[in-house]
Structure 1
């Protein structure tokens, strides 16, 4: 069987879907991956994927460029002749879905989050929803990572296909194993992992760091992630003032999680936050916005603390509440988070959901083929 995967960058595919790709290859399937070339492509090829370099502007809104992407996907599907296509993130979901409809190819879509284009009201939102409606129209199954996104798509009649709720991308419990909780003798270390951009709540985090450090100078804020918006000057300034420590992009986030006392994510919206799953799996409490995609990952007061998105005071209060917890309560929060990941977010749950849907598609195609032969 040939399986084609459409994605927008290699990091997400490798870090969060590698185990699914490995399982598909293990079952003697040919797995093709279509995405822009980056440093993760050799890693994906090493596990057995066949790479097809595909130009894609993740944040561009040029209609001509997007139309070229659609034509590219149509041509690609006709060349590869996949039995099923898997799509991730907005442009592969939309234009890959339309291309599959045109070529009458079965496909499974994963809504990894609404994204800024849908979260913000206006013309861009209307256009995006219209395109999504076209892209999802003939999907064999649409996976959602949180119930709020699923409800939004169904209430707005964007999706009429079969839908399933999955626990995000799940978490690899072996890779992100439970780590011994570090002592808090001289520092309490908070870790932010994510793209340095407004929608991740980075501006609120900057302001909170200033306010918290005034009263609690022993608190340290470590930031990991590439800058997708113009925050370089601000990062340099805050580092000079010893308010944050910025570590740039890192391939090995687990080593940073291991040294931290809690992970913090003030995001405005998420599909389902992988950084929170990985942190909780490692035995670290999480402090996160009370928004869909974050609230599913923690139990307020038990495995972490929630706070209101876009609200500096609420964020500061959550940080201070955690700082003032006794050491054993911090550690117990981390242990409770690990148990939650084991029970609800094992990545094998996601892999099995995909295998079930792919088997349904193949069995249906085989049945239809046998009917045609009899006729």
Structure 2
């Protein structure tokens, strides 16, 4: 069997779908990875994938550019003749589905969080929803990562015959993500991992860190993630620099060794406005680190409030600051208990093996 996987970056495929790819290849199937070329493309080839490069504007809405993406995908799908295609992220989901439909190739799409299309209003979200409705009419299956996303998607995009199922994100490799270090609160070290756009709650984190740093100068606040000034809601470098210069936060840039950075953290924070199932929180919980996140779809699925972490109000730096202060005040034993409960939650609900089995099982039903 030949399975194509189409995503908006090679980085995304490698970091979120490596376990699935290895499982497919181990069963003797062929995987075609389709994405814009980046430094992770060769890693996909080294894993055993056939790699096909495409050009994609991930944030723009130029109809000519999007038409070119559709034509690229149709050309690749026609040439490669996959038995089924797994698609992730907005543009592959939409334009890949249209291309696959024209060639009568079955598709499994994954809606991993509704994002700005459903958070904001205006012409661009309106058009995007119309495109979703057009593209999803004949897909074989759509995976959603939480009930809220599924409900809101189907309330806003009327597709009564759409075959949908829930799946707990991309899952976690529990062998890879297990801490080799004891959790420490000397010093207390907060860590936020996210692309630096406003919808991730970056400004709320920066503001909370600025105020807490004044009363708790020994506490550390780290930020790991890529600047994306080209994004309509990207945090600007000048804005970030002001917090760095006053030593409110330590900006770590980007780093492949996320596991090592999580291991050195006391608590991982993600004050996002909405997610699918945030992998950074799963990784943190799997490594026994308490987490703080917002009480919004996707994020709240990873936290039992007061057990393995704390939930805060969305878009509120004040409430985030209060929850971070609670972590600062906790003794080390209490923090370790929170971490242990987080590990257990991930083992029970988010093991990567659960997700892999679901994909392979549904694929067999569709192909047969």
Matches within 5 A, 1:1-375: 1-159=1-159, 160-185=161-186, 187-229=187-229, 230-363=235-368
| Structure 1 stretch displaced more, 282-291 or 4-13 | 4-13
Per-residue CA distance 1:122-166 (angstroms, 9 max, x = gap) = 222211111111221111110001111111122234443211101
Residues 288 and 340 in structure 2, CA contact (< 8 A), matched pair in contact too: yes
Q: In structure 1, list runs of 5 or more residues that go unmatched.
A: 364-375
Deviation at 1:183, TM superposition (A): 2.8
Deviation at 1:46, TM superposition (A): 0.5
Residues 118 and 124 in structure 1, CA contact (< 8 A), matched pair in contact too: no
* Counterparts of 1:134 and 1:76, CA distance in 2: 21
| Bigger Cα Rg | 1
Deviation at 1:234, TM superposition (A): 2.6
* Counterparts of 1:227 and 1:15, CA distance in 2: 18
Residues 107 and 139 in structure 1, CA contact (< 8 A), matched pair in contact too: yes
* Counterparts of 2:267 and 2:282, CA distance in 1: 12
Residues 188 and 219 in structure 1, CA contact (< 8 A), matched pair in contact too: yes
Per-residue CA distance 1:203-222 (angstroms, 9 max, x = gap) = 11111111111111121111
Secondary structure class of the residue paired with 1:247 = strand
TM-score scaled by structure 2?
0.96
* Counterparts of 1:70 and 1:270, CA distance in 2: 26
* Counterparts of 2:57 and 2:284, CA distance in 1: 30
TM-score scaled by structure 1?
0.94
Deviation at 1:286, TM superposition (A): 0.5
Secondary structure class of the residue paired with 1:142 = strand
Residues 8 and 58 in structure 2, CA contact (< 8 A), matched pair in contact too: yes
* Counterparts of 1:347 and 1:257, CA distance in 2: 19
* Counterparts of 2:75 and 2:217, CA distance in 1: 58
The answer for the alignment partner of 2:232 in structure 1 is: none
- Report how many aligned residue pairs link the two structures: 362
Q: RMSD over aligned Cα, in angstroms?
A: 1.1
Deviation at 1:239, TM superposition (A): 1.9
Residues 279 and 285 in structure 1, CA contact (< 8 A), matched pair in contact too: yes
Secondary structure class of the residue paired with 2:138 = coil
| Structure 1 stretch displaced more, 232-241 or 92-101 | 232-241
Deviation at 1:179, TM superposition (A): 4.0
Aligned pair in 2 of structure 1 residues 158, 35: CA closer, same or farther (>3 Å)?
Answer: farther
